């Protein structure tokens, strides 16, 4: 067990810090949360700077245009950029963390050449067309149909929770290509151009008031067969490749940010007199233990991934379960620090964060689904088989 970094890793960190210090003061102020074109321009502008400095696609394999960095180097990158207050990956999230790595792992040479460089350069934005109104956590129940017509698929259906749909150039789309196959088979992974005729995007307003994501309606949209990544009807396996990337690295920077917020809460409480409240103090002390441990768990998981050749392990589900709830507790504590009026004021950043934190136990697999994953895949408990229960149980309660 070793928590010291190698000379090489420390050198990487020092160079990164130096670069961040030189580039951050020149950045324009962050855009308003609801201005999509503004946010796109801002986020891609940051991606372009990363690209020019050689930090784009740090964790991507070198033959896909990335830096082939180790998981520890990626951890350092996320830690330092967050500490320095650098912009978040933002509109480039799906391209950089989902679609890109999937295409790098599963795409043909032509597909890699077409789609990967624009993501790294910050020229094109991707969105994710996975979830449907009736297929959220039960993703394999999706119904959007794609039927072959010559060298095109004709796609009809609807998608939901599609972040950045309004400004995306491409969509990583899951479609059902064989309706007669069992639900996990018969799914294909397509890259759909967002300017194709037949696509309607309708923004969805979140409970925090922001337009984070959208509904997407697909009406006979023609997608070239050449845009399919992986074999026809093999999309579920390709999707699992995508999701393992999502859970592996998505929250690293956020834990660093939460630890910073915790320090700010203590400073604010000392300033406004709330620090005299022993119950609040103890809550903040407990959160200090939690977020320190979550950061150590992150380092543990990254080290484990490094030993396993870069593949994220099951520790991601354990982490996400605790982190998503701890984040909600953190911003509940922030509301206490702000006091009654402050906690109800949506001009306060912490109030908006408190509202947004409600999504963490739902997005990327609800806590209930994560509990099942931990119990079944890590602890080896049997699967629930509702269809095979005794008849008297199924009738129970009616």
Partner 1 sequence: MRFQLTDDQRALRDGVRDLLAGRFDRDALRTAVDTPGHLDRALWRALGDAGFFALCLPEADGGVGLGLPEAVLVFEEAGRVLLPGPLVATHLAAGTVPGAATGEAVVTAPAGELLPWRDASDVVQGDATGAVPLASVDPLTPLHKLPGPHAPRSPQAVLLTAAEQLGSATRTCELAVQYAREREQFGQPIGAFQAVKHLCAQMLVRAELARAAVYAAAVTADPVETAAAELLADEAAVRNARDCVQVHGGMGFTWEADVHLHLKRAWVRAGTGRTARETEEELAAAL
If you ran DSSP here, which 8-state letter would residue 368 be given? Answer: H
Least distance in angstroms from the C-beta of 20 to partner 1:
20
Judge whether 234 and 172 are in contact, CB under 8 Å.
no
Least distance in angstroms from the C-beta of 308 to partner 1:
10
Residue 173 CB-density burial (10 A; 0-12 exposed, 13-18 middle, 19+ buried): buried
The residues with which 203 forms a beta bridge, in sequence order, are 214
Residue placing its CB nearer to partner 1 in the complex, 99 or 262: 262
| Catalytically annotated residue among 246, 254, 290, 304 | 246
For helices 315-343 and 349-357, give the axis angle rounded to 10 degrees.
Answer: 140
Q: What's the CA gap between 398 and 394, in Å, rounded?
A: 9
Query: What is the sign, positive or negative, of the torsion defined by CA atoms of 151, 155, 160, 166?
Result: positive
Per DSSP, helices labelled H in 234-277 are 235-249, 252-272
The residues with which 221 forms a beta bridge, in sequence order, are 155
Residue placing its CB nearer to partner 1 in the complex, 78 or 165: 78
Give the side-chain half-sphere CA count within 13 A for 357.
Answer: 21
Residue placing its CB nearer to partner 1 in the complex, 12 or 93: 12
Asked if 10 is an active-site residue, the reply is: no
Residue placing its CB nearer to partner 1 in the complex, 1 or 207: 1
Q: What's the maximum distance between 2 C-alpha atoms anywhere in the chain?
A: 72
Residue placing its CB nearer to partner 1 in the complex, 64 or 266: 266
Residue placing its CB nearer to partner 1 in the complex, 156 or 288: 288
Residue placing its CB nearer to partner 1 in the complex, 237 or 281: 281
If you ran DSSP here, which 8-state letter would residue 64 be given? Answer: G
Least distance in angstroms from the C-beta of 93 to partner 1:
26
Judge whether 246 and 97 are in contact, CB under 8 Å.
yes
Relative to beta strand 170-176, strand 228-229 is unpaired
Task: List contacts with partner 1 (CB under 8 A).
Answer: 1-6, 9, 72, 262-263, 265-266, 278, 281-282, 284-286, 288-290, 292-294, 296-297, 299-300, 302-304, 306-307, 315, 318, 321-322, 368, 370-372, 374-376, 378-385, 388-390, 393
Give the side-chain half-sphere CA count within 13 A for 334.
Answer: 24
Least distance in angstroms from the C-beta of 15 to partner 1:
17
338 φ/ψ angles, rounded to the nearest 5 degrees: -70, -25
Which tokens is 90 given?
């933002």
Nearest alpha carbon to residue 241 among 100, 394, 91, 389: 100
Which residues have CB under 8 Å from 189's CB, separation 6+? 102, 106, 172, 173, 174, 228, 229, 230, 235, 238, 239
If you ran DSSP here, which 8-state letter would residue 7 be given? Answer: H
Least distance in angstroms from the C-beta of 302 to partner 1:
8
Least distance in angstroms from the C-beta of 161 to partner 1:
24
Residue with tokens 């039927």: 147
The residues annotated with a catalytic role in the active site are 246
């Amino acid at each position: 067990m070793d928590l010291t970094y190698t000379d090489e890793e420390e050198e990487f960190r020092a160079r990164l810090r130096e670069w961040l210090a030189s580039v951050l003061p020149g950045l324009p102020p962050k855009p308003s949360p609801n201005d999509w074109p503004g946010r796109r321009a801002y986020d891609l502008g940051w991606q372009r700077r990363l690209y020019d400095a050689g930090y784009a696609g740090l964790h991507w394999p070198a033959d896909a245009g990335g830096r082939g960095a180790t998981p520890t180097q990626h951890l350092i990158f996320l830690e330092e950029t967050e500490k320095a207050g650098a912009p978040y990956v933002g509109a480039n999230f799906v391209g950089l963390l989902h679609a890109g790595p999937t295409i790098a792992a599963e795409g043909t040479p032509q597909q890699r050449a077409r789609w990967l460089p624009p993501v790294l350069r910050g020229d094109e934005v991707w969105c994710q067309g996975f979830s449907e109104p009736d297929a959220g956590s039960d993703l394999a129940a999706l119904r959007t149909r794609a039927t072959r017509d010559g060298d095109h698929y004709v796609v009809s259906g609807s998608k939901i929770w599609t972040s950045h749909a309004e400004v995306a150039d491409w969509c990583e789309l899951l479609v059902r290509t064989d309706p007669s196959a069992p639900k996990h088979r018969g799914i294909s992974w397509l890259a759909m151009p967002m300017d194709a005729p037949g696509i309607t995007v309708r923004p969805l307003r979140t409970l925090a008031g922001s337009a984070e994501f959208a509904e997407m309606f697909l009406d006979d949209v023609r997608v070239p067969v050449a845009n399919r990544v992986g074999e026809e009807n093999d999309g579920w396996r390709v999707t699992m490749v995508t999701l393992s990337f999502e859970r592996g690295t998505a929250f690293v920077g956020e834990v660093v940010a939460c630890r910073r917020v915790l320090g700010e809460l203590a400073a604010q409480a000392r300033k406004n007199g709330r620090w005299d409240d022993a119950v609040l103090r103890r809550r903040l002390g407990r959160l200090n233990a939690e977020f320190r441990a979550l950061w150590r768990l992150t380092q543990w998981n990254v080290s484990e991934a490094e030993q396993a050749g870069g593949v994220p392990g099951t520790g991601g589900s354990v982490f996400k379960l605790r982190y998503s709830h701890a984040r909600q507790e953190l911003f509940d504590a922030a509301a206490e620090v702000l006091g009654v009026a402050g906690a109800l004021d949506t001009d306060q950043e912490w109030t908006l964060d408190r509202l947004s934190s409600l999504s963490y136990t739902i997005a990327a697999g609800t806590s209930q689904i994560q509990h099942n994953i931990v119990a079944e895949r890590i602890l080896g408990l049997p699967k629930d088989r509702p269809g095979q229960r005794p008849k008297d149980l199924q009738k129970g309660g009616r």
